[in-house]
A and B are shown apart, each in its own frame.
Chain A
Amino acid sequence: MSARRDAEPITIVMAGHVDHGKSTVIGRLLVETDALPKGKLAQVQATCRRHARPFEYAFLLDALKDEQAQGITIDAARCFFRTARRRYTLIDAPGHIEFLKNMITGASRAEAALLVIDAKEGIRENSKRHGYMLSMLGLRQLSVLVNKMDLVDYRQDVFEAVRRDYAAFLQRLGIEPASFIPVSGMRGANIAARAAETPWYTGPTVLEQIDGFQRREFPSSLPFRLPVQDIYKFTDQGDDRRIVTGTIETGTIAVGDAVVFQPSGKTSRIRSIEYFNGPARRAAAAGEAPGFTLDTQIYVKPGEWMVRADDRPMQVGTRFRANLFWMGHAPMIRGKAYKLKLGALRSPVQLIEVLAVLDATELGTVANKQQVDRHDVAEVVLETPKPVAFDAASEIEQTGRLAIVDDYEIAGAGIVLAGVAARDSTLQEHIRAREVAWKSSAIPRTERTAAYGHGAKFVVFTGADEARGEACARALERTLFKMNYKAYYLGMESVTRGLDADLRVPGDVRDDHIRRLGELARILTDSGQIFITSVSGVDGYDLRTLEMLNRPHEILTVCVDENPSAGLHTDLRLDPALDAEQAAAAVCRLLRRKNVIMDYII
């Protein structure tokens, strides 16, 4: 082994407008740093001879056949080289607008960027768009290469004009570039060696500049944030650990720290930090992906955040403003179900409002748009059906980042600007609109109650024990029916296979099932019946949704589990010792107490 270890390697992305010469600069870097595997240069030169094409440095990168045919980089290709200081991974991001999602993929993996601008052609649309993308992606370590200086006779005034205009643009994005370097990829000017043609330039060469870039450090001084990726309980070989896992985004945590899970609000304490084949750890920090066992057995789901109880909590809400970059072929529209990915969370999400569409190249605002088109950068309001936890990106960049999935594809990416007070959630708006439009029956509710001898009610059995829930619900239907009450049981399965058969949206269709069940309850309770159902695996939010949708009629919730999950508050919790008949009788007693059914009728 060598006595002196290199500095740790870093990843750099090459960005810039199409045909501004990124691949040529990279090809030249690879040759100058002697980075090509033996035979690679000869192989590409031989291919050029065979196809009767002059050799270009760019061909070294264009490893794929169809790319050479088109002459443009279609994806972010990686190559590797080293300087005296350290090793590098260089990602060649495509400059063509059609391949912006590939540029983003490349840039999001990088720690620093080289942005290439053609001296002769000057600043073009994607020079600016890429600059904007780099700032949104959080990549602020940037050097601008003013390329093809040989085509403008290495004139200082041309270089200075590009520098002045582009520096002004970057300033508006909050980026201060490390340097502007006049280069020629083709001639090798200022790549590895200082060019005699640019005596007026005193800054670093490209190699000197990249050796000056810093590696990305993980922000351990910010509040602790762990997106809960999964919870494992592998029982093989007698393992009884229940392990919460994820990659720590920010902050540090230690054994014994009190933690809060958001948005559920559940609390516990770190019992141990788990790591396979390594010494026991007392603490873990941003960037690491360990496991955690907790002091108490609490039920948390993947997608929640684990934060430290003594840190500032995350915001929790259903609505937030975001800056979104759209890559989907189809525009983002209102009323369509999308899937949100934020940390480890996956949630249905809707576009509520387009506040502004930014022109990424001019940083101006485009006039009133109702949708977000491909390659638009927009400020939007998004809403999730259930509360989610997030940070504003201005406070914690790492935990304010989101992606939007449209029909299996990641179509949008963006950052959370701020939470929006959910004074009017979509559900409430919907119910209000529905009730305004609702044509009430000619028979008043009081007359119906008098005629039937009982009031209307929506009775929901819930809990993890699905079979018991259904048995109790059916027993209640039979009991009430025998007493001449108008009671009707319908199981969730009958709804999903029937009324809900058209629901095939990607993501969580369960929320739609709940919604339709609630609408069905609104109709059946309006007809004066006692509508009974059983649904398993619901949480407090689902029950509240059912309660709201069933308004103006009333709901009665019954939990069949001995130990319901925290946050699930029901009107009645059944004693596990009761059989279905006894359970039905217990529910009847409660219905009597609530004056839904009346004793004197019997």
Chain B
Amino acid sequence: MNTMTHLERLEAISVHILREAYREFRSLVMLWSIGKDSTVLLWLARKAFFGHVPFPLLHVDTGFKIPEMIAFRDRVALEWHLDLIVGRNRKAAETGKTFPDGALTRVECCRALKSEALKHTLSGEWPRLRMDRAAGRLVPEENPEAFSGVIVGARADEEGSRSKERYFSARDRRSEWDVGDQPPELWRQYKTDFAPGTHVRIHPLLDWTELNIWEYIERENIPVIPLYFDRGDGKRYRSLGCAPCTGPVDSTASTVAEIVAELRTGKFRDIAERSGREQDKEDGGGLETLRRGGYM
């Protein structure tokens, strides 16, 4: 009998799902929020494809991201030869229709700057920027194509609605999710046949927990943004989002090993990761409301 460690098993499942997605979808894209989960997902893609990432990475930039995230993104994109695409809701940003501008609630702001921006960037309706690796900068993309397969780093342990996701999850033309009628998944067989016009979200990290993510970052020595570590003020980010809605937590963990210890037996073992995300608290099922409308 082959006894694999839990991380080895998780890795093998994720790699299998990524290869399945690449086999089945020609217009495939991976969402990259620059956070730890989607950076692990990106690393798993390099595992699955032996050092290559054979599809573009999409970052939806709300314009309110912490500046270090953007610097990290561009550096890694060049180092790993990534095909980076950036999309955003320009209109909302230009007209001040956002939460930080006082015009929207937090949930409405997420919907406009993330869900809407994502939907229209995926479809190619809104302009995109694409990394010109030779020039080392983002340039407007000519004739953006529509993506039908979207790889997302959602984890089942994050929040109630995510615990019901499938590895391969169909969304209809309006990006809506029918939670009650989802396809069966068994024996490494997933729903990979879709009617034209459907787009599909692929969730290779569904079985991973926050602790697994950090254990894997430690094992593989994956680069992550320094914002996750305490840099002397006794605070660090546990979850990264937009600056106005994400706060650091009190923690002195300054290395990956210390974060792993903190999650395994220390102060965070019983506290939900998204507790620092304000939009989740706004209505009864904030994230679920957002997810039905296309939030990742």
Interface residues of A (CB under 8 A from B): 1-2, 8-9, 34, 36-40, 47, 63-66, 74-80, 89, 101-102, 104-105, 108-109, 137, 215, 217-221, 229-230, 232, 234, 236-237, 239, 241, 243, 245, 247, 252, 274-277, 285-289, 291, 302, 327, 339, 341, 398, 401, 403, 405, 408-410, 413, 506-507
Contact = CB atoms under 8 A, between A and B. Distances in A.
A37 B220 contact: no
Nearest to B209: A80
A108 B185 contact: yes
Given A239-B52, A245-B19, A105 B156 contact: no
Contacts of A47: 284
B5 interface: yes
B3 interface: yes
A40 B51 contact: no
Contacts of B288: 63-65
B54 interface: yes
Interface in B257-271: 257, 260-261, 264-265, 270-271
8 contacts: A65-B285, A104-B184, A220-B1, A221-B1, A230-B22, A287-B2, A413-B184, A507-B193
Contact of B12 (A217, A221, A236, A288): A288
Interface size class of B (residues with CB under 8 A): 35 or more
A218 B46 contact: no
A436 B182 CA distance: 47
B54 A234 contact: yes
Given A66-B179, A219-B1, A410-B183, 14 more contacts: A104-B184, A217-B3, A218-B1, A229-B20, A237-B51, A237-B81, A239-B50, A243-B50, A247-B188, A275-B47, A288-B8, A289-B19, A410-B191, A413-B184
Contact of B270 (A37, A66, A137, A252): A37
Given A39-B272, A65-B284, A137-B186, A232 B49 contact: yes
Please indicate which of the listed interface residues A77, A78, A102, A507 has the most CB atoms of chain B within 10 Å of its own CB.
Answer: A78
Contacts of A401: 187, 189
B29 interface: no
Contacts of A34: 270
B181 to A, nearest CB: 9
A63 B163 contact: yes
Given A64-B161, A77-B164, A239-B51, A413 B189 contact: yes
A234 B49 contact: yes
Given A38-B271, A65-B288, A105 B184 contact: yes
A277 B195 contact: no
B144 to A, nearest CB: 22
A432 to B, nearest CB: 33
B49 A408 contact: no
Nearest to A107: B186
Given A219-B1, A289-B15, A413-B187, A80 B157 contact: yes
B166 interface: yes
Given A34-B270, A230-B19, A237-B81, A409 B160 contact: no
Please indicate which of the listed interface residues A2, A75, A137 has the most CB atoms of chain B within 10 Å of its own CB.
Answer: A75
B16 interface: yes
B41 to A, nearest CB: 14
Given A77-B163, A302-B23, A89 B189 contact: no
A392 to B, nearest CB: 16
B91 interface: no
A250 to B, nearest CB: 10
A87 to B, nearest CB: 8
Interface string B23-58: 100000000000000000000001111111010000
A36 B157 CA distance: 11
Nearest to A227: B188
A80 B155 CA distance: 12
Nearest to B184: A101
Nearest to A34: B270
Given A37-B272, A217-B1, A410 B189 contact: yes
B5 A327 contact: no
Please list the 10 inter-chain residue pairs (A to B) with the smallest Cβ-Cβ separation, ordered nearest first.
A63-B160, A108-B186, A217-B1, A37-B272, A101-B184, A285-B2, A220-B2, A218-B2, A403-B189, A234-B52
A70 to B, nearest CB: 9
Given A34-B270, A64-B288, A78 B193 contact: no
A89 B207 contact: yes
B50 A101 contact: no
A133 B169 CA distance: 23
A234 B2 contact: no
A413 B47 CA distance: 30
B157 to A, nearest CB: 6
B270 to A, nearest CB: 5
A107 B288 CA distance: 24
Contacts of B156: 78
Nearest to A138: B187
Contacts of B46: 276-277
A151 B12 CA distance: 45
A245 B156 CA distance: 27
Contacts of B180: 66, 74-75
B256 to A, nearest CB: 11
B20 A64 contact: no
A141 B219 CA distance: 31
Contacts of B15: 247, 289
A466 B41 CA distance: 40
Contacts of A410: 183-185, 189-191
B187 A2 contact: no
Contacts of A66: 179-180
Given A218-B2, A286-B2, A413 B160 contact: no
